[in-house]
Amino acid sequence: MPLAVLRAAPFGLNYPDYVYVKVRSRNINGWSNYSDTNIASAKVLTEPTTMAQPTRGSLTDENLIHIKWTALVDDELRGSEITSYYLQWDKGTNSVTWYDLVGSGDPYMDLEYFATFGDITPGGDYNFRVKAENEFGLSLTWSPIGRITANSRPDQVSIP
User: 112-128: per-residue pLDDT in tens?
Assistant: 999 887 778 888 899 99
**Delimiting residues of CATH 2.60.40.10 domain(s) in the chain:** 55-149
Q: What are phi and psi of 76, to 5 degrees?
A: -65, -25
CA pair distance 148, 126, nearest whole angstrom: 5
Amino acid at 115: A
Mind listing the pLDDT tens digit for each residue in 52-71?
999 999 998 888 899 999 99
Coil/strand/helix, residue 66: strand
User: Is residue 156's pLDDT more than 70?
Assistant: no
Summary mean pLDDT of the chain = 88
Is the CB of residue 54 less than 8 Å from the CB of residue 87?
A: yes
Confidence (pTM): 0.78
- CATH hierarchy code of domain 55-149: 2.60.40.10
- Percent pLDDT > 70 in the chain is 94
- Which range among 2-11, 66-75, 83-92, 104-113 shows the weakest confidence by mean pLDDT? 2-11
- Going by their DSSP bridges, the two strands 125-134 and 146-149 should be labelled as antiparallel
